[in-house]
Structure 1
Amino acid sequence: MDTSYCAQDILRCDLCDSELQSHCELCHINLCRACVGDHLSDSSKKHRVVPYSERRSTLNYPKCPHHDDKCCELYCEICDSTVCSTCISSGKHKGHNLVDVRQKLSSKKEDLEKDLKELEENIYPKYTEIATDIHKDEADFEEYYGKQITAVITQGEEWHKEVENIVNKEKSSIEEMKTKHLTAINKEKDSITQTVSHLQKNILELKNILKSNDFSLAFEYKSRNAEFRRLPPKLKISLPSFCPRMTSTEQLRQQFGSLSALFISEEDRGWIMRKPEGSLSPPVKPLLSQPQLLASIDTGYPLQKNQYSVTCLSDELIWTSGEDRILKLYNLQGSLLKLFQTGQGSDPEDITITRNGDLVFTDPNQTTVNIVKNDRLWEMIRVDQWKIWGICKTYLGELLVTMDRANESKVVRFSGSTKIQSIQFDEGNALYLPGTAKYISENRNFDICVTENIHSRVVVVNQAGKLRFRYTGHRSVFPMNRTFDPIGITTDSQSHILVADCKNCCIHILNQDGKFLRFINNCYLTRPWGICVNTSDKLFVADGKTIKKILYI
């Protein structure tokens, strides 16, 4: 018997309950010496039997969901899935970017560690603080309600016995309000307690995954940090108060006193602010004095039709959309790799890529946000009575969408298909003006940047929706004496804000505080519309019937 198991229960074979010696890392079962031979006799699988004490030294590759006898040693970044050798030979992943699953596991574990760190250091302490505050509020309102009841009783004792029924009625009203208040507090307390419990379980689960070499656990894990990051609403309560009055007995009921109503509402606590990893000190990249046109990709749009939007699937692949209602995927050599017809009545306005690499587009005509997944079109978000315009993915994987109607306009944040924030007013003042398309981008400091074309301005707010600044152009150095015409907008690793100025055939570059830095106006731009920046800070511009790739930094 292994001395490492002394004073412990004997570990048993999963097949016959005898003392184990070995472990099959393909089947994830423990085996005794007698059962090893029978297990290896199954030639349909390539079993990997190792001494039990060495089981952790061999990596457990995920089983292929499509081929039972295969393990996945590669990861397809286009399909966001692990693949085996049979999957690759089938041709399904031809031309896709394949990486070693161990390489992907490393990034997966980095994400898990980030989630764990945020849960332990930021989210969980905040929830425990809220729970403590609720307990304190509970004790305070007990004392408060006691004082209110005492006031009513004192007032009643000074009156004649014939007002006792009024006293009892008022006491009953207070007790009913107290019960409602207590019910609301208990509901909030129970909700917080339950969430704290979920957080504890999630933290424990993440720790177990990080300790384990079982790849399948890491890939099966679905992060709930976005759900926990959204703090619960805080109860906002207007407490009732009894106000006694001296009066005659003829007006007992009316003059006995009044009890203000109990009013319970919710006050938004907002989010636990968090910046993307590495955003505090990115490598400094100065702007070039003369931006360079690196490539011009002809996207084949027909006469009288132009493209509107461009977004990067990777540093080597770009999606475009335009007036022909066809979504197109190109590589940087100008080869069309894939196209998707959105259908009659659908009019894609703006596009972005989800964290999983799926294409998402807005459709103002249908008032929807749609997602292309597995070569099929799915409705993701529908907002009746609002026209949806611009869309972008945030650094935390959420979606920001601009929308307006006749007399109002707003930005809405979605986690999946769930609305979690609406940005429309700042201290009662409208942030955005209605009318025409609005494009949107999130900066590295979580600022939300929106172009308002018809109003010739860019509006920038912080993550909580507070106005930071408005940019209305840099007229003194416009290449042409025309009105500022902002349409597409994007940001880069330096927190620069880049704005496509269609009529003036240029790109404005601002710093994160709205200070104008320079124009890009020497790269043969004729109609710059949608713009995006890849991870290496190369700028892509949807310009008429071409996509221009520009080096500016």
Structure 2
Amino acid sequence: MHPRRSAQEVLLCDLCETVPLQSHCELCNINLCVNCAVKHLSDSSKRHKVVPFLHRKSTNYHKCPDHTDKHCEMYCEKCNIPVCSTCVTSGKHKGHEISDILEKLGAKTESLQKDLEELETRIYPRYEGMASDVETEKAELERKYGKLTTDADEQGEILHREVTAIVNRRKSAIAKMKTKHLDALNKNTDEITQKMAELKQIMSDLKSILKSNDVSLTSTYKSRNSEFRTLPPKVRATLPSLSPQKINKDQLNEMFGSLSPLSINTEHGDTMKSAEAVSSPPVKPLLDEPRVTATATIDTGYSRLFSVSCLSEDQVWTRGNNKTMKLLNLQSKLLTSIQTKSGNEPRDIAVTRDGDLVYTDTKTINLIRNKQIQTVITLRGWIPRYVCCTAANDILVTMISDDGEQYKVVRYSGSTEKQSIQFDDQGRPLYSSGYYKYLSENRNLDICVADYGARAVVVVNQSGKLRFRYTGHPSNTKQSFTPFGITTDSQSHILTADFNNHRIHILDQDGQFLRYIHCDLESPWGLCVDIRDNLFVAEWVTAKVKKIQYL
């Protein structure tokens, strides 16, 4: 047995080594006295599990394969195997670093615990999200391929209608030619019939004269034979003919329209960083009294101010109640101004990771690069409202249907739609049908929407699954919770502007209320944070931007 664990001695705390032990940490596999147990549990970086010493899990020592009467109570770091005391004294492990097997077990147990925690909280949920995404894509497959089939049918109907129209025009022309031909033949027939009637009358008169043998009639007869020897004109017409062209199948196929090939690419899966690699940023505690940074109130010049988006620590883009978007510094100096392409008031603005400006218009989502406006997305049936740019440089947009009845969040990569978030697992709408819905992506990739119509902050995970709804803090307020602008910071805090109550709510990433920011705010509307976690607040009434330090 280990000398400090001999039954002949009082068992002491492994940390202070002076006070008898009373507890045992199963994660670290160490024994603790009362005071050391309290200190040990204060380390929040690990999920320590401290139990009474008598309730600890027993340690099954491994029998030494070389010395069957011995247990492996030590560990050779160089050979990476458990060893017994005889192995150590035999010289086989001479010069090797030998450690206590329980200490090694504790380290290994901690490593296993970290692996389990990472698998449960980070890796497996990503696989779940991927599986859910594939199922969603499969569900969409029927709809999209059905639309392709419908499009093919519609194109076929268009070609059929064109062919039928051509056939009908040809048949109409044939009928007109036939009528004209018959009219000509009927006229010819009438002329011949008239001549025949005259000839019959002359022949009848000649017979009567010859029969009467009357000198007077015979002497007065005048012959008309020479007149009738010239026959009436005969109508001759060349029948029309149809000369069909040989059908060129290639041209016909081209007229129908081409079908792009199916492209299936298997992309290499993203390699997730380990929990250590994705270490949390330096912890920045919240200030007891947030404060407006001196000389950092920006006068935007609008009569009403709605949105603010950080380009840098000392430059912000702003959107007010006209068609012009302004880039201002902390001294309120106008650096750049750009008008919307349509001449309409922009709905919202956001800055990409590359420093370009994105804005939403009546039916379009537009990108401004080097002062040139490019329309990247045009919508049908939906109106884009509020926008944010993600860590992956995607664009998230809240949008409302033309009839005002539906609301959804859509993720775009460039101009390609990647994700649509509208319903929860029970098929119920995640968002109200009201207009105001600013949004932001949190550090943990949650999508946070300030749903003014629902009086709630609605948070879904990266896959679009509902995580929680925050409906305000139950403290006394004069007005109900009215969330407008929303943003997140490096600590995964969620900050939302409570317009009617003139303050900002700070939540943790799980929706727990932390505190308010007041700072004499007047009708706060839009929010953003810079890379140093300074908060910029757009005040609707004063049309000013306040820079606030709260961490």
TM-score where L is the length of structure 1: 0.49
